Structure 1
Amino acid sequence: MPELHELSAQDLLAGYARRAFSPLEVCQALIAHIERWEPRLQATYLYRPEQALQQARASSARWQRGAPCGPLDGVPGTLKENIATAGDPMPAGSAASSAPLAAQDAPPAARLREAGLVLLSKTTMPDWGMLSSGLSSFHRLARNPWDLSRTPGGSSAGAGAAAAAGYGPLHVGTDIGGSLRLPASWCGIFTLKPSLGRVPIDPPYMGRAAGPMTRSVSDAALMLQVLAQPDARDSMSLPVQALDWAGVAGTPVEHLRGLRVGLLLEPGCGLPVAPEISAAVQAAARLFEAAGAHVTPMRPFFTREMLDGLDHFWRMRSCIDLQALAPAQRERLLPYIRQWAESAAAFDGPHVFRAYAQTHATRVATVAASAPFDYVISPVSPNLPAPAEDPSPTNDPLRPLEHIAFTVPWNMSEQPAASINCGHSAGGLPIGLQIAGRRFDDVGVLKVARAFEQLRGAQRPWPRPQ
């Protein structure tokens, strides 16, 4: 039998129900496991084992009475630092922040607490969530458990590392250009960036989504049953829908038969795709074809103008945030982020308007390119994880987004997109396959991912503390 810290959420719930073990025993095992890993991994923020044990004791008592409080009662998990938890500071990964205390739980935190999640910790992120790495002026440097010299990705850096290292089965991250999918790809785990509004967040923002980060598709679906509940604080929250989250786990491989699948191997701009990544994604495409899907190569649709427009618009947004800081605070911001944001000071109004217009141009192009297909598969990232100390794969603040051309289009189009492991490099680093679907077809993307999860066969053992 696997060790307690290795069990999935579904296995934990089944074990609690038959009294094979208790939430308290699981929490104790998990704390011991985290404390072996964490000095090197550095994935946690506000790690409070005593509070977690207190929650686990209460859950154990409920299970002993046969009265769990919700569908995740006693299951351990984490939340990304920028998901507000009442009374806790929110530095947004930056030493420049005044780290205000959150007045209330954000929607994902509230839903998970109501469902009985044992909150082990928050997880780390880079300054302002604007890096695909674990580098932060506030948090310790998060590392990739597959290779501690490499980044776990970002901005959901700690969440990706924690999921791969086995810090419990359930984790929440956020994504505005790839911040769920990049760490999922580079850490070998599963995630879904849901349709905009499927998982309410606070504050909402164009393209911004919260989603599950797990070791399996089924655990992500279980989590989404809880997370995907409307909340008035998110003005873009989707209405109540009866979705078949529970049916995801039982999806057969035959589900792929007859599906029209687009295969996108070139991003259109940015970094060239590493040969190992291209080979892994093409091997995945052959598995889809062998299962009866109709796979058709696609032409790139994302352009340099679109990528630069998004970059320049976000630079100006951060430039305005930077200018609102006192001089002493600005000096505490990560130098890479400061240089990137300050570069927008010379942009005039027409330039910023044209940059902003690329958000809609990206949306239109993405929807049009994917319209002939039920789903689109591609690499998540053109590159393998960079060195842990590098803020971005290019290490250049004036070329910061060269690695997100596969991911960011689906944020702007509001379509669901997942990352699932489809192979490893010669050096043992994970490679992610992106599966994108039509807007609102979150369950469909999960079912395709679940079918592929079975096709891809046995995976390498998860990394262990070094």
Structure 2
Amino acid sequence: MAGAAPLPHPAGALAAAYASGSTSPVEVADEVLARVAAREHEVNAFAEFDAASVRAAARASAARWRRGEALGPLDGVPVTVKENMHRAGVAARGGTAGSTPVVPEADSPIVARLLEGGAVIVGSTTMPDWGMLSSGVSSLHGVTRSPLDLDLTVGGSSSGAGAAAAAGFGVVNLGTDIGGSVRFPAAWLGLAALKPSAGRIPIDTPYLGRAAGPIARTVADLAAGMAVVSRPDVRDYTSLPPADIAWDDLAIDPAGLRIAVHLDAGAGMPVDPAIRSAVVAAADRFADAGAEVVELPGFIDDGVLDDIDTFWRVRFWRTYSELGSARRALVLPYIAEWVAKGADVSGTRTLEAYEAIGELRRRTVLATAPFDAVLSPVAPMLAFPADWPMPWGHDDRGMAHIAFTVPYNMSGQPASSINAGFAPDGRAIALQIAGPRFADRHVLALTSWWEAARPGSTVPVFP
């Protein structure tokens, strides 16, 4: 998997081509639709897809470009949105066969920003039941598979978003992330992703630790997406105030920065030796560029992960228990068994679990405050079989795989994923780069620096 294979049409190149007239949104849409026709039957990226609406949006964009009235840098650019980003008139079911379809009357904030910018929404992408798996297994959609190797997981819960990015169905693909759900698909597919600061991208159902973020093949496309979808929306009462961020300015010199390398989370599953080696090699490259690299010891423990898992079980037991018996029977068995352990948790225990989230935030902020950035694995394991709901198969091991990712959800700090190498069998290995809260452009710039500075042997090739 060595060697560079640029994305056929990065967002910046598309905008330039549209402006010059060398190609049009209609031609690009036709190419994307041909890709979907060739691969969707095996990849299973879409929860909702309508070729006619894609063509109509592309024609409207082409007309704007001809008139010199483009709405922005994403006008005519193919994008995808996760199923839980509601689109007016498009049914959504949260990835589970047990739910009653929701047909929203209004677009969610992210969808609204994309449409305001003229982006061509190719479709709504799949997710596992309620987004509570790190795989593409869904009782509603079936199994979403890696376009790089159909036997392997695409990751989750933004499973369809990752599949769409890797298959070339969308240039910018929006997902959500409460414990790693945009970074895991990126990690196991060799892609780039950003989980931004809490509130940076407005969402219509804000929740503790939940963020939305882009997945793409290049960091520049992440930045292009952020420039459009990061504008505030009053419907998200947690959204950050307007900020004048030069998202396309990704220049940075690591010299003089103080950077931590975090190889032992202190909890969860052990790190695969190949992943550890790749992260160490990346840290060495930052050091060679003049950064002061310091090892950061683990700052969480298994009790914190267990508490978060308990809190989420109680949260989704409530959702599950409100379904009728017939609909409960349709929920993925793994999820049904997982939530069942939240049924009899006492109020006191639930409050203890909730308070552990605040403790995790405190530890994360204090541990990372002395550094300009933290380098770590995204996931401690490599991609696993596509039909496994979790990295260990069908057993219940709680949230043992999110020890490197979930701290930054709960602290609200930005964290990216970018490919850093390959295991001997070719499976992708990712580097996570986290930074202080609100330092989203800084994290993207460091991620872009690594993208350019990494050895050629670590650069993914996409179909």
Same fold (TM over 0.5): yes
Indicate yes or no: 2:181 matched with 1:194: no
Q: What root-mean-square deviation, in Å, do the aligned CA atoms of Structure 1 and Structure 2 show?
A: 1.5
Query: 1:401 is matched with which residue?
Result: 399
Cα contact 1:318–1:341 (8 A) shared by 2? yes
Query: 2:216 is matched with which residue?
Result: 214
- Aligned-pair distance for 1:60? 1.1
Counterpart Cα distance in 1 of 2:461 and 2:114: 26
Counterpart Cα distance in 2 of 1:70 and 1:10: 11
- CA gap of 1:386–1:400, structure 2 versus 1, over 3 A, is farther
Indicate yes or no: 2:228 matched with 1:262: no
Query: 1:232 is matched with which residue?
Result: 234
Counterpart amino acid of residue 312 in structure 2: W
Counterpart amino acid of residue 39 in structure 1: H
Query: 1:448 is matched with which residue?
Result: 446
Q: How does 1:258-337 map to 2 (within 5 A)?
A: 258-337=256-335
Cα contact 1:5–1:30 (8 A) shared by 2? no
Counterpart amino acid of residue 301 in structure 2: T
Query: 1:103 is matched with which residue?
Result: 105
Query: 1:35 is matched with which residue?
Result: 37
Counterpart amino acid of residue 315 in structure 1: R
Counterpart amino acid of residue 34 in structure 1: V
Query: 2:168 is matched with which residue?
Result: 166
Query: 1:135 is matched with which residue?
Result: 137
Counterpart Cα distance in 2 of 1:327 and 1:312: 23
Cα contact 2:81–2:123 (8 A) shared by 1? yes
Counterpart amino acid of residue 462 in structure 2: P
Tell me the alpha carbon deviations over residues 385-431 of structure 1, each in whole angstroms, 9 at most, x when there is no partner.
11110100123453131110000000000000000111111111111
Partner of 1:325: helix, strand, or coil?
coil
- CA gap of 1:4–1:215, structure 2 versus 1, over 3 A, is closer
Cα contact 1:337–1:397 (8 A) shared by 2? no
- CA gap of 1:5–1:280, structure 2 versus 1, over 3 A, is closer
Counterpart Cα distance in 2 of 1:156 and 1:353: 29
Query: 1:414 is matched with which residue?
Result: 412
The aligned length equals 459
Counterpart Cα distance in 2 of 1:340 and 1:461: 35
Indicate yes or no: 2:383 matched with 1:385: yes
Indicate yes or no: 2:19 matched with 1:17: yes
Greater Cα shift, 154-163 or 340-349: 340-349
Cα contact 1:160–1:183 (8 A) shared by 2? yes
Cα contact 1:144–1:187 (8 A) shared by 2? yes
Counterpart amino acid of residue 359 in structure 1: I
Cα contact 2:191–2:217 (8 A) shared by 1? yes
- Aligned-pair distance for 1:302? 1.4
Counterpart Cα distance in 2 of 1:397 and 1:234: 36
Cα contact 1:134–1:154 (8 A) shared by 2? yes
Query: 1:462 is matched with which residue?
Result: 461
- Aligned-pair distance for 1:246? 2.3
- Aligned-pair distance for 1:237? 0.5
Q: How does 1:356-395 map to 2 (within 5 A)?
A: 356-395=354-393
Counterpart Cα distance in 2 of 1:400 and 1:394: 10
Cα contact 1:165–1:462 (8 A) shared by 2? no
| TM-score between the two structures when normalised by the length of structure 1 | 0.96
Q: How does 1:236-255 map to 2 (within 5 A)?
A: 236-248=238-250, 251-252=251-252, 255=253
Partner of 1:246: helix, strand, or coil?
coil
Indicate yes or no: 2:435 matched with 1:437: yes
Counterpart Cα distance in 1 of 2:382 and 2:167: 18
Partner of 2:421: helix, strand, or coil?
strand
Cα contact 1:91–1:99 (8 A) shared by 2? yes
Report % sequence identity.
Answer: 46
- Aligned-pair distance for 1:167? 1.0
Indicate yes or no: 2:54 matched with 1:52: yes
Tell me the alpha carbon deviations over residues 171-195 of structure 1, each in whole angstroms, 9 at most, x when there is no partner.
1000001001111101111111010
Counterpart Cα distance in 2 of 1:5 and 1:361: 41
Counterpart Cα distance in 2 of 1:94 and 1:33: 26
Counterpart amino acid of residue 454 in structure 2: R
Counterpart Cα distance in 2 of 1:60 and 1:242: 29
Counterpart Cα distance in 2 of 1:316 and 1:410: 22
- Aligned-pair distance for 1:5? 7.4
Cα contact 1:377–1:436 (8 A) shared by 2? yes
- Aligned-pair distance for 1:287? 0.7
- Aligned-pair distance for 1:100? 1.2
Partner of 1:46: helix, strand, or coil?
strand
Partner of 1:77: helix, strand, or coil?
strand
Counterpart Cα distance in 2 of 1:312 and 1:205: 16
- CA gap of 1:3–1:394, structure 2 versus 1, over 3 A, is closer
Counterpart amino acid of residue 375 in structure 1: A
Tell me the alpha carbon deviations over residues 295-330 of structure 1, each in whole angstroms, 9 at most, x when there is no partner.
100110111111000000000001111111101110
For structure 1, the residue ranges without an aligned partner over 5 or more in a row are: none
Greater Cα shift, 39-48 or 414-423: 39-48
Cα contact 2:12–2:73 (8 A) shared by 1? no
Query: 1:352 is matched with which residue?
Result: 350
Partner of 1:332: helix, strand, or coil?
coil
Partner of 1:432: helix, strand, or coil?
strand
Cα contact 1:132–1:155 (8 A) shared by 2? yes
Counterpart amino acid of residue 152 in structure 1: V
Counterpart amino acid of residue 463 in structure 1: F
Counterpart amino acid of residue 462 in structure 1: V
